[in-house]
Amino acid sequence: MKKLSVCALLLLSLTMTACAKQEKLKAGEPVEKEFSEVSVHDPSVVEGEDGSYYIFGSHLAVAKSDDLMNWTYVNQGVKDDNEIIPDVYSVMKDAFEWSHSNTFWAPDVVKLNDGNYHLYYCNCQGDTPVSCLGTAVSDSVAGPYENEGLMLKSGMDASEEDEDGNLYQAATDPNTVDPNVFYDAEGRLWMIYGSYSGGIFIKEMDPETGLELESGYGEKLLGGNHLRIEAPYVIYNEDTGYYYLFLSFGGLDSDGGYNIRVCRSENPNGPYVDSMGQEMTDCKGPSGSTFSDVTAEQYGTKLMGGYRFEWKEGEEGEERNGYLSPGHNSCLYDEESGKYFIIYHTRFENSGEEHQVRVHQMFFNEDGWPVIAPYRYAEETAEPCEEDSLTGTYKLINHGRDISAEAKVSEEIVLKKNGEISGAAEGTWKLTGDYGAEITIDGDTYKGVFLKQWDEDGKKYVMTFTALCSETGVSIWGSGLNAI
């Protein structure tokens, strides 16, 4: 008998896998969703000319996907031999020299009215906010990008030297990193940026060239006195009429308590307020303070932090590592499907500083605030529900408002047929509209959606809910215990 070639063996394996999937479908068994992982820190998403979605991250990590589930690398690492920015160390010499660095931090890529892709890059020393921000341009999303030079540097607006002779006041001036560039509803172009230090700033840009209209840092939106807030990202929702500013609070390390928060405004340049009605301009550290998390956690509507859906006897996936320090997100609206997505990186329990990209579907609740689906996106679509299909035992995650290094661990509740909730929390629940969720626990009412999702650890489809209490700025998630 002749030996099969490698190609023949691969084809046979793929055929057998496809047949197994068909058999599962016929038997009504769940077909496991497949994912391909990448490590792209601070992923910023943009649609390419080929219709694929690209994410650009720190250290010139770039990946692409056609389905937001399976990612492949386009580039990894800052090196001269790359197609994004060829000969990067000579081309970007000014940025590396100013920042005393040999790498890039969180970039943003946007396709502007001129039809070109504009890469907003930034560099920083890291242990001190010696930073710079510049632009490069290409007619293809994957490059090569041609450097246009620097536009912002830390200390460029300072009028006097500090005690060390630096023209930079870190408690009030911005760290010129973490750019996000977006068009508003009127076609004006804005760049929001900043990390820790003096806060988050915004400035208007030329809508055709993507370059700054006026020199200077622009207008401060929030932060200051080294409050741990960074990674600003803005999206506009035409249906609600609001601009939503997403931010990451806390530290990005596995024990840093990174978490994603949001505020909104009717204007691209603010003022932004959280769901509790607090103006974010008041969100700043006490004078002379550093990293005052007790101050920061009072502001911003918290959408998610570290979490783990606890394993229960009879389920698959007994060994589970919860998510830690999820953050530095970007957002995407897919016009064809009408779906919103949030893309972020996360670390994991018992995994050191390893990180991966995650994509979750996102919805806007009855009060016009975003809520994030509990599980990563697996091609699900919100569909009309019947109340009887929603009853049963759920694993409840309450994300709270704290900045914590510990993952929130689920507790069990039961949604009863009579509309009551029992178990680890008590209250009431009801279905509103086709798939809207209204859940009241301890007098606080959370509004969101019910959604059938793929439980990756449990290897089953379950009913979930995601909801937010506007009055407290707290988000909750629920994951059904039983397969559906």
Catalytic residues: 42, 230
Distance CA 95, CA 197 (A): 20
Structure-block tokens of residue 259? 């978490």
Q: Say what the alpha-carbon torsion angle 345, 283, 186, 113 is, to the nearest 10 degrees.
A: -40
Cα dist from 385 to 205, 381, 415, 435, whole Å = 45, 12, 15, 6
> What is the rounded radius of gyration, in angstroms, for the C-alpha atoms of the chain?
23
Distance CA 97, CA 475 (A): 43
Q: Are strands 259-265 and 108-111 parallel, antiparallel or unpaired?
A: unpaired
SS3 of 234-281: the string is EEEECCCCEEEEEEEECECCCCCECEEEEEEECCCCCCCECCCCCEHH
Distance CA 381, CA 340 (A): 11
Distance CA 243, CA 237 (A): 6
Query: Going by C-beta distance under 8 Å and a sequence separation of 6 or more, which residues neighbour residue 93?
Result: none
**Inter-residue contact 43 to 345 (CB < 8 Å):** yes
Nearest to 380 by CA among 466, 313, 444: 466
Distance CA 103, CA 100 (A): 9
Amino acid at 442: D
Q: Is 93 helix (H, G, I), strand (E, B) or coil?
A: helix
**Inter-residue contact 307 to 399 (CB < 8 Å):** yes
Nearest to 243 by CA among 190, 167, 207, 312: 190
